[in-house]
Amino acid sequence: MMTARIAPAQAPFGPAVQQWLDRTMPEGRIPFVLFTTLARDERLFGRFFAGGLLDRGHLTLRQREIVIDRTTARCRSEYEWGIHVALFGRRVGFADRQLESLVHGDASDPCWSEAEALLLCLCDELHATATVSDALWAGLRQVHSEEALLELLLLACFYRTVSVLTNALRLPLEPDGARFPPLPARRADATGSTER
> Residue 193 falls within a domain, yes or no?
no
> Residue 189 falls within a domain, yes or no?
no
Looking at the fold, whether 119 and 172 belong to one and the same domain comes out as yes
What are φ and ψ of residue 4, in 5° steps? -65, 145
> So what's the pLDDT on residue 189?
58
Q: Where are the beta strands (DSSP E) in the chain?
A: none
Looking at the fold, whether 105 and 24 belong to one and the same domain comes out as no
- CA-nearest of 65, 70, 67, 6 to 33 is 6
> So what's the pLDDT on residue 121?
98
- CA-nearest of 23, 46, 45, 22 to 34 is 45
Looking at the fold, whether 96 and 21 belong to one and the same domain comes out as no
Q: Which residue range is the domain that position 144 belongs to? A: 61-183
Cα gap 145→192, rounded to integer Å: 40
> Residue 3 falls within a domain, yes or no?
no
Query: ∠ at Cα 74 (98, 111), nearest 5°?
Result: 15
pLDDT digits (tens, 9 = 90+) for 120-130: 999 999 999 99
Looking at the fold, whether 78 and 166 belong to one and the same domain comes out as yes
Counted domains in the chain: 2
CATH of the domain at 129: 1.20.1290.10
> So what's the pLDDT on residue 185?
74
Phi-psi region of 130 (alpha: psi -120 to 50; beta: other; left: phi over 0): left
Given a cut of 60, is residue 191 above it in pLDDT? no
pLDDT digits (tens, 9 = 90+) for 51-80: 776 777 899 999 999 999 999 999 999 999
> Residue 116 falls within a domain, yes or no?
yes
pLDDT digits (tens, 9 = 90+) for 41-56: 999 999 998 877 677 7
DSSP state letter for 40 = T
pLDDT digits (tens, 9 = 90+) for 121-180: 999 999 999 999 999 999 999 999 999 999 999 999 999 999 999 999 999 999 999 999
Average pLDDT taken over every residue of the chain: 92
